């Protein structure tokens, strides 16, 4: 018997990173304010369709890039997209390259993360409702493959697979840090994918990240990152990213079969039912609605 989840169809959430502050390809666009018990999100959500597929768009840094990486309310952003009925989440991010063959202008479909961020709210759960989701494979392989194919169809050179080092920022890396991250096996570097990917998994949202390579970070002798350099490459990448989202709508299978990530919270809750905090459960009315009695 098909489940209600299988019958819902696709509703794609898109989180736009640096340079991607709107989706001009959306048809019948409607901008709405969505509240969250976790505070204010980065801005209103834009709802619309592309090729008949519903989309919900949220700029990660807000309009005009007013929010720095460490101040983004990642929990509220994921929460409001979940409230909009999103089934799958595609993140678009500007990244630096830690590999010679990942040249500026190319795209990377990231599949792993190293988290070096600090002081960010990294979970929806806590005292009164403890949960430990699996994050061994933090990216949805089905969605990531579709996003990579969409970027290729949009004309991008795409590297399928890569480890993203999430740094705290807002400064770029020192040369010593950049070389150390290469030694750790990181392929690209950015400031925003964590805790975003963690929270998407807790919200039972399959997550994919398309990284737009803007620079070589600072590991190469004589190279260092300048905002002006990043912006020049980013402007070209942004046009491709918008086309990739449009291509994604045409590449999605007609019906959305369930993903194991849709039930990531199964077996993850440690707190006994009679010990679960009602206030915490109420706060999770969108994220963990299935857990409510």
Place of tokens 């480890």: 163
- Residue 215 catalytic? yes
Angle between helices 193-202 and 74-83 (to 10 degrees): 40
Task: Single out the catalytic residue among 217, 262, 266, 285.
Answer: 217
Whole-number Å distance between alpha carbons of 27 and 30: 9
Supply 276's token pair.
Answer: 């679960």
Cα torsion 46, 160, 87, 2 to 10°: value is 150
CA dist., res. 46 & res. 93, Å (int) = 18
9: left (phi over 0), alpha (psi -120 to 50) or beta: left
CA dihedral 253, 259, 261, 264 (to 10 degrees): 150
Stretch (H or E) spanning 88:
strand 88-97
What size, in residues, is the chain?
Answer: 293
Q: What are phi and psi of 195, to 5 degrees?
A: -90, 15
Residue 217: active-site member: yes
Of 194, 179, 191, the closest CA to residue 230 belongs to 191
End-to-end CA distance of the chain: 24
Interhelix angle 227-251/141-153, rounded to 10 degrees, is 110
How far apart CA 75 and CA 85 sit, in angstroms, is 16
Q: Which of 79, 111, 215, 262 is catalytic?
A: 215
Instruction: Give the H or E element holding residue 202.
Output: helix 193-202
Active site residues: 215, 217
């Amino acid at each position: 018997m098909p489940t209600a989840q299988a019958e819902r169809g696709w509703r794609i959430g898109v989180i736009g990173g640096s340079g991607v502050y709107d989706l001009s390809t959306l048809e019948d666009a409607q901008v709405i304010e969505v509240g969250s018990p976790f505070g204010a999100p980065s801005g209103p959500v834009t709802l619309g369709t592309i090729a008949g597929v519903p989309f919900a768009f949220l700029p990660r840094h807000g309009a005009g890039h007013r929010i720095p990486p460490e101040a983004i309310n990642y929990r509220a952003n994921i929460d409001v997209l979940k409230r909009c009925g999103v089934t799958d989440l595609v993140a678009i991010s500007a990244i630096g390259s830690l590999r010679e063959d990942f040249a500026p202008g190319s795209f990377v479909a990231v599949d792993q993360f190293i988290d070096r961020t600090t002081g960010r709210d990294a979970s929806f759960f806590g005292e009164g409702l403890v949960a430990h989701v699996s994050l061994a494979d933090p990216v949805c392989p089905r969605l990531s493959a579709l996003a990579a194919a969409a970027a290729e169809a949009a004309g991008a050179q795409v590297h399928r697979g890569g480890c993203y080092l999430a740094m705290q920022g807002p400064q770029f890396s020192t040369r010593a840090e950049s070389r150390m991250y290469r030694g750790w096996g990181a392929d690209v570097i950015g400031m925003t994918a964590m805790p975003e990917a963690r929270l998407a998994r807790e919200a039972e949202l399959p997550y994919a990240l398309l990284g737009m390579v803007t620079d070589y970070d600072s590991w190469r002798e004589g190279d260092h990152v300048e905002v002006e350099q990043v912006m020049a490459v980013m402007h070209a990448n942004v046009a491709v990213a918008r086309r990739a989202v449009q291509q994604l709508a045409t590449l999605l299978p007609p019906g959305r079969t369930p993903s194991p990530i849709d039930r990531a919270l199964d077996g993850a809750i440690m707190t006994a039912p009679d010990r679960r905090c009602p206030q915490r459960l109420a706060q999770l009315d969108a994220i963990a609605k299935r857990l409510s009695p």
